Amino acid sequence: MAAVEPLQRLAASLVVVRASGQLGDAQRRYPQWELANAELQRLLAAGVGGVILLGGSATELRLRCAQLGRWGGQPLLLCADVEEGVGQRFPGASWLVPPLGLGMLHSRDRQRALHLAERYGRCTGREARALGLNWVLAPVCDVNNNPANPVINVRAWAEQPTAAAELVAAFCRGLQAEGVLGCAKHFPGHGDTSSDSHLELPLLPHDRQRLEAIELPPFRAAIAAGVATVMTAHLLLPALDPQRPATLSAAVLTGLLRQELGFNGLVVTDALMMEAISANYGPGEAAVLALEAGADLVLMPADADAAIAALVAAVQGGRLSRERLEASAQRRRTALERLPIDPLEPLQPIEAIEPLEPNNALALELIEACSTRRGLGMVGPGLVGPGMVGPGLGNGPALNLVRLDDSLAAPFLPSDAPALALAERAGYRSLLLERRSPSPWSDNPHAPLDLARLDLAGLNLAEPQLANREALPVLLQLFVRGNPFRGSAGGGEPWAAVVEQLQRAKRLAGLVVYGSPYLWQELEPLLDAATPAVYCPGQMPLAQTWALQSLGLGHADAARDRRAGEFTD
């Protein structure tokens, strides 16, 4: 007869903690959430069942996963939020367009969108497994039918439930065919909220009939496609439970998910340190309530030791049965048994493994399929080459006005990013507008940008020089999308008025919108027929190169490089 697992270790196996993907404590980007190595090693030795990782390169992630496996001494669930490809979080792997891009494509070319969604899943699963991850916290099954949603937004696969369901199922098939576990999130649907559960508890005021029509179809499709895990949402649905958020609600997790939808896999909470939960419940009480409701794993409790101790005390005090914990532990083991390799099998030494080559061909195909170009006198796929565009952008002097939320939290825009470098090589002086920069706005609602102030800043001119200088063209690049912790979907700024202002002044050389389709839908009808403009759902460097080459920037450099190559040995 197998030995009975100690209660403390059983409780620990149901906790997933956060760690940096980098090896050293000093490298942690978010030390308030990412455990130091000594703490991490202690908890893994005590039986903690999983780790969620963020940070570091693809190569570092491979080393980190091997290290965690050694520290744990048992099969671990090793996961990451790589909704947009592994390269979204770990440089060196493939960074793909946000899923909503394929939702937009689905309305034009359903079969191509579904084919690309399955390849998207395969690419993500293949690279995750190669780097040591066995659990991908995707797909997002929320239907983004509310463009003002600050936290889901372009992370969703579609704005319509039918399209989202089809794309989610295709992604799941591709992902799990590569030997990793998928995770449908955020149950029962976070798409129609105007607040961010990282910051507060959102309210979803819809009745059950509406949930069946909009929120639930993608989750049903993911379950039918065999998704291994489902993640809960921190939101209040009075129609199902007027007292507790979905993560802590037996009506939602047991009644709806388990009994009505028939999901028998592993249920994991969203991060319990998020304000929607932690502002109202302590880490121990939240963990106990989650298991009482029907969750199997608690993700990122604010205090892992407190969560484990509370689960132990709940069993000892009769609030939870040991059998309840055993059932969750068995679901965790069943999920791990789905994997095609032994989770404890050591990875090859890093020097024996070829570096991971990102799938740039797929990444580029997705960019081209999901993007829009207008006013360029050209159509067709492929990176744009010399002679393929219409007038496009001329060389400078000109201003390259770049809008982003926060330059310190923009991994897509390092100092040598194409959005800056390609424009600057053509003589465009870059100006970054972000929350730390001086305000660019004037008091005139009809001319909201203070162009004189921007000219002074961008060209380092003194006031007298400005008066005698011809106004320069402006390339406007807008990096706008919803993201967690930001509290908005990126709106609220008068970019429509800016476009009209620049066009009246004959100063809008070109426009690129990276990210939000909603901003593009607002601005595109305002553009003059001859104004070159591009919309791309992706913000990564490859998307920037594609967009600016579509506008005619960067070709002279490419031609120069080819000529130089003709005279080298």
**For residue 281, which of 319, 255, 243 has the smallest C-alpha distance?**
243
User: Where in 152-220 does DSSP place strands (E)?
Assistant: 183-187
DSSP state letters, 100-160: HHHHHHHTT-HHHHHHHHHHHHHHHHHHHHHTT--EE---B------TT-SSSGGGSS-SS
Residues 6 or more apart whose CB falls under 8 angstroms from that of 203 comprise: 193, 195, 235, 236, 238
Distance CA 69, CA 569 (A): 47
Residues 6 or more apart whose CB falls under 8 angstroms from that of 475 comprise: 393, 398, 399, 400, 401, 423, 428, 509, 510, 511, 512, 551
Cβ of 134: how many Cβ atoms within 10 Å?
24
Backbone φ and ψ for 450, nearest 5 degrees, come out as -85, 85
Cα dihedral value 238, 240, 243, 247, nearest 10: -110
Distance CA 152, CA 138 (A): 12
CA angle, corner 166, sides to 162 and 169, nearest 5?
A: 135
Distance CA 214, CA 146 (A): 11
Q: Which of 192, 196, 270, 455 is catalytic?
A: 270
Under 8 Å between Cβ of 221 and 163: no
Cα dihedral value 448, 453, 454, 457, nearest 10: -160
Q: Which of 106, 186, 190, 198 is catalytic?
A: 198
Q: Which amino acid, residue 504? A: R
Q: How big is the chain by its Cα radius of gyration, in Å?
A: 25
10 Å CB burial of residue 18 (0-12, 13-18, 19+) is buried
**For residue 480, which of 421, 440, 533, 536 has the smallest C-alpha distance?**
536
Token readout for 67 is 């290290």
Pairing of strands 372-374, 533-536: antiparallel
Tell me, yes or no, if 270 is annotated catalytic: yes
Distance CA 188, CA 318 (A): 29
Q: How far does Cα 203 stand from its chain's mean position?
A: 23
Residue 444: DSSP 8-state: -
Tell me, yes or no, if 416 is annotated catalytic: no
Residues with active-site annotation:
198, 270
